[in-house]
Structure 1
């Protein structure tokens, strides 16, 4: 079993929730295309990174870029977008995050 990736952010808990998103279903972190680092959310990246974010190009949506904060399973962007819950632990993801896809992913 591999090492759990470090998740950067503001007040990140052990399930990747941060100061900005703290509900029961806010349990994913996103590996940013620009730096390859996991952050709890876009706002955390804005506050802590020393560079502007870049979006994942569609051609790279098969890359592991989503971390389930419940079980630490990494998902591809395609998997994340097509399943409302983690395929391993079945913890539900926040459906409202779909509204933020354009911040992270080339649409």
Structure 2
């Protein structure tokens, strides 16, 4: 079953009102609630709690959803690639600037 993505979505590929370029095709499962959101701003606006980052020792957890093929990636895999290993869709390189919102680094 494909995980549900919460937040202010604008399309089926997990783009949201905050990040909606052709490369913005990932959703992140938040450690605090284990729910997928397209971005930290969507979590802040829609969740009823503060966000918690994934600890370094849990980088093997599946917590990234490719919005194109719906493949779930581990955090470590996501941090090591620039595109989806399953469908080869490129990911937004600018997302690297925001990893501290989601993962301990």
Query: Shorter-chain-normalised TM-score: which range?
Result: over 0.9
The match for 2:57 among 45, 59, 77 is: 59
Map 1:90-105; keep pairs closer than 5 Å: 90-105=88-103
- Following TM superposition, by how much is the alpha carbon of 1:43 offset from its aligned partner in structure 2, in angstroms? 0.2
Match of 1:39 among 34, 37, 40: 37
Which segments of structure 1 move beyond 3 Å, counting only runs of 4 or more?
none
Structure 2 unpaired stretches of 5+: none
Length, aligned pairs only: 105
In structure 2, C-alpha distance between the alignment counterparts of 1:12 and 1:54, rounded to whole Å: 25
Structure 1: 5+ residue stretches without partners: none
The alignment yields a C-alpha RMSD, in angstroms, of 0.6
CA distance in structure 2 between the aligned counterparts of 1:4 and 1:17, rounded to whole angstroms: 16
**TM superposition score normalised by structure 1:** 0.96
TM-score, normalised via structure 2 length: 0.98
